[in-house]
Copies of this chain bind each other. A is one copy, B any other.
């Protein structure tokens, strides 16, 4: 049923406007210029045509079938629009309009829902819309179309969602679907999780949540879905100050954070502390496989960065085991005397392609560690690209997740691109790399019942 919302044959934009800067104009623009190939029908009783498309006075007067209606009109006339949608046989509606339960106008929201009566499924109200990069459907007033990718993003905050889309473009993070859920009057988090669990473009589900409506149902669904696809959640409204802000924002009661956190853990949801961590973890989960245990090998050409990675591992409950004598002997065969083979494996500042390759090969093959973090620290004596090539060449044989941490400026960008091409995520600090890796370890626990 939700597939008609995300893969509609045609879309009506109710409240389409000729005026640049108005929501009804921005949405129509996004629909037209993002490359969606289905029918697009502006609805506006006072216009003949908008942005080159013929406009219709009402949804009912559109002479073609309509799968999805995007509704951007004042709240008080949404009920009558919904009535038209039902009569027209529209399958889904994204209600952009605000002025409903988020400002305590619950009756109006209930009325719209009653009219839709399950025949028209509703996303919203009070949302910036939805985006599906698979069919270039941008039914939103997000500022730009995101890059294609396999992370689905469900956000309870519309504006934040829009800004984060922009941020993902700059950070070259690809997304599959973006759903700004708004007040969740009909389609809620649970149904979206079930839909995304089956969505072939989605590999990871990232969520920004202020409040969950039905905790028990969320946990049931999340427990199933998290076994199929990783779910990463950032929960806002954790503190008293945050909860007060959340209640002003969406009228939602944020509930006790401790209960949320315990519930997330129980149902296999991976927790993130802010949006940066949310996407760091989602990227790692999208690009690498879950780990089969929590033992981490750290390979580095810089001692300091290795120490910081080791600290971060232990602080997050991961293990940095000292390697066996046998493995250390193997490493000593090709590493210089000043190298440290204990773990972190410090292969020394002048390490290049050969030393990186041989070392990574050893840790990927042996059974003393479950995951690997490879650090490269840029100095005048080191060349960032060759170690990256060494890493990606080792991956053919890898059955362990690997994350990169190339530290430097413009000169490490080409290396990061090489890594990214082979699905090795890179993070700018050891701490962020370790946090991302911890998500792969956590997902392994969810899948394999390790502890």
Contacts and interface: CB of A to CB of B under 8 A. Distances in A.
Contact of A381 (B23, B210, B412): B23
A310 interface: yes
A444 interface: no
A428 to B, nearest CB: 7
Interface string A303-318: 1111110111111000
Interface stretch (A239-247, A360-368, A386-394): A239-247
A186 B194 CA distance: 64
A303 B249 contact: yes
Contacts of A378: 143, 162-163, 166
Contacts of A169: 409-410
B159 A301 contact: yes
Contact size range, A? 35 or more
Interface of A: 21, 23, 26, 30, 98-99, 103, 128, 141-144, 155-170, 208, 210, 234, 236-242, 244-246, 248-250, 273-276, 298, 301-308, 310-315, 319-320, 322, 338, 340, 342, 344, 346, 349, 377-382, 407-412, 428-432
Given A144-B409, A311-B241, A313-B241, A304 B98 contact: no
Contacts of A377: 159-160, 162-163
A242 B319 CA distance: 11
Given A143-B380, A163-B378, A322-B244, A307 B170 contact: no
Contacts of A248: 303, 340, 342, 344, 346
A26 to B, nearest CB: 4
A170 B428 CA distance: 12
What is the count of identical protomers in the complex? 2
Given A143-B379, A237-B311, A244-B310, A429 B274 contact: yes
Given A23-B381, A144-B409, A160-B302, 6 more contacts: A26-B380, A128-B379, A166-B410, A241-B313, A244-B342, A276-B431
Contacts of A234: 308
A346 B242 contact: no
Of A159, A273, A320, A409, which is in contact with the most chain B CB atoms at under 10 Å from its CB?
A: A159
A234 B379 CA distance: 20
Contacts of A26: 380-381
B307 A236 contact: yes
Given A304-B249, A306-B245, A311-B242, A410 B170 contact: yes
Nearest to A237: B307
Of A144, A308, A429, which is in contact with the most chain B CB atoms at under 10 Å from its CB?
A: A308
Contact of A159 (B98, B162, B302, B308): B302
A276 B429 contact: yes
A381 B141 contact: yes
A414 B241 CA distance: 31
A378 B347 CA distance: 44
